[in-house]
Amino acid sequence: MSEQPPKQAPLHVGMIMDGNGRWAKARALPRLAGHRAGAETIRRILEACPGLGVHWLTLYAFSTENWRRPDDEVSGLMSLLDQFLRERRKDLDKQRIRLNAIGGLERIPEPARTRLFETMAATRHHDRGVLTLALNYGARSEIVAATRRLAEEVAAGRLRPDEITEERLSGALSTAGMPDPDLIIRTSGEMRLSNFLLWQASYAEFWCTPTLWPDFSCDEFRRAVEEFARRGRRFGGLANV
Ligand code: FPP
């Protein structure tokens, strides 16, 4: 990726990585082989981010609904998370990317949870990009938790109801301090948000592709970013023409 990033690059890209299971099924492989190939796609995509002008990359790695999958798939995904963190640590250091995580992290089983916190601590000073893994994440429960936090402030007399603003609610979410996503990419032909960053994605551009996540390439990522650069974002206003 030696080309220049597009002028209007999306600073923050969210990705709904879908289609690992179908990728595996098409090859008569176990579902976990699809997830393993999906983890390899993350490695490539992460490497491509700086060249595309993407500073923040947020990946929907495990949703609150994913616990409903068979036990062996869930435990396989958690082992894969641990392996991913172990293997990617040198890349995060080399690329100076900070690891961040959002979601109900207390439910992530060991040893993945400890490795997650260790990797976040070890990379906290990296300044060339931020990789956020959404793990045991669900946007509705995130919004409920934020609302509850603000309600507690009101009940304690530290906050007046009229002081509850969009900014304050944003600041009570797990993404506090992060810019809202500019672009959300979903693979495998599905066109849903599936409880991912519902509040934060209010003005995000969407880009959907039939490509299954394990086959999602850096070339396709570049095409998505270039198309984003061509779209006129008006945020409810009028086009600048
Ligand atoms: C959706 O594919 C993908 C997931 C539920 C998990 C995403 C996980 C990875 C990309 C690999 C592991 C990542 C880390 C960071 C460890 P699906 O299984 O729903 O696919 P399907 O719709 O074709 O069945």
Residue 219 CB partners (closer than 8 Å, separation 6+): none
| Helix boundaries (H) for the chain | 20-26, 31-52, 71-95, 112-122, 139-155, 166-172, 218-230
Burial class (CB in 10 A: 0-12, 13-18, 19+), 226: middle
Give distance in angstroms: CA of 54 to centre of ligand 1.
Answer: 22
Say if ligand 1 is within 6 A of residue 131 CB.
Answer: no
Q: Walk me through the domains of the chain, giving residue ranges and CATH numbers.
A: 12-230 (3.40.1180.10)
How much is the pLDDT for 241?
47
Q: What is the pLDDT of residues 34-79, one digit of tens each?
A: 999 999 999 999 999 999 999 999 999 999 999 999 999 999 999 9
Residue 49 CB partners (closer than 8 Å, separation 6+): 13, 55, 57, 129
Question: In sequence order, what are the beta bridge partners of 62?
Answer: 135
Give distance in angstroms: CA of 7 to centre of ligand 1.
Answer: 31
Query: Which atom of ligand 1 lies at the shortest distance from residue 24's CA?
Result: 23
Say if ligand 1 is within 6 A of residue 137 CB.
Answer: no
What residue type is assigned to position 187 of the chain?
T
CA distance 207 to 228: 8
Among 15, 19, 41, residue whose Cα is nearest residue 184: 15
Q: What is the pLDDT of residues 143-164, one digit of tens each?
A: 999 999 999 999 999 999 999 9
- pTM assigned to the model: 0.95
Give distance in angstroms: CA of 34 to centre of ligand 1.
Answer: 8
